[in-house]
Amino acid sequence: MFNKKIIYLILAAVFVVLAVFSYSQSRQAKKEKNVSPEQELMTLKVYFNNDKLDPEFSCYKVFPVERKVGKKTAVARAAIEELLKGPTEEEKAAGFFTSINTGVKIQKLVVENGTAKVDFDKQMEYQMGGSCRVSAIRSQITETLKQFSTVKNVIISVDGRTEDILQP
């Protein structure tokens, strides 16, 4: 009788250890994917310039790359956030680059009646110069937002200003 109790205790301990280990492995796998079980991924397009696809650099010509993000209702914001991250190392190797300053933040983004209004912080204009660069930035933002059927027009502002922003 004493031996049966020891065997049951050992089996119970082994079961607990295996259950904890299995749970831990499952959580780690989900963490590595950076996706919770209820979260699915969606694909967005982000537009960059590319010196291999456009060797003469036409300023306004941009090309899409795909990014996978967690499904969100604010897809336009998610797309601009991905744009502001800039190209990945793999994308850079393929010739993609951004004309947008690093560290730019979205202050507000709304889509109403077919128009996306996106307001950036002052970092957007930091040491800004050149009409080509300004055109490239406008194209990157505009095309990234116009991928969505709800966006027909894009208004870009910095600190709420639309008139004198992104000037060459």
3 state SS for the chain: CHHHHHHHHHHHHHHHHHHHHHHHHHHHHHHHHCCCCCCCEEEEEEEEEECCCCCCCCCCCCEEEEEEEECCCCHHHHHHHHHHHCCCHHHHHCCEECCCCCCCCEEEEEEECCEEEEEECHHHHCCCCCHHHHHHHHHHHHHHHHCCCCCCEEEEEECCECCCCCCC
Residue 43: pLDDT band (50, 70, 90) is very high
| For residues 83-91, average pLDDT | 97
Is 3 part of any domain? Answer: no
Is 54 part of any domain? Answer: yes
| For residues 128-139, average pLDDT | 87
What pLDDT, on the 0 to 100 scale, is given for residue 122? 92
Is 28 part of any domain? Answer: no
Is 128 part of any domain? Answer: yes
Total domain count for the chain? Answer: 1
| For residues 79-85, average pLDDT | 97
* pTM, to two decimals: 0.74
**Top-confidence residue, 50 or 131:** 50
Is 2 part of any domain? Answer: no
User: Is the pLDDT assigned to residue 87 strictly greater than 70?
Assistant: yes
The domain of 50 spans 41-158
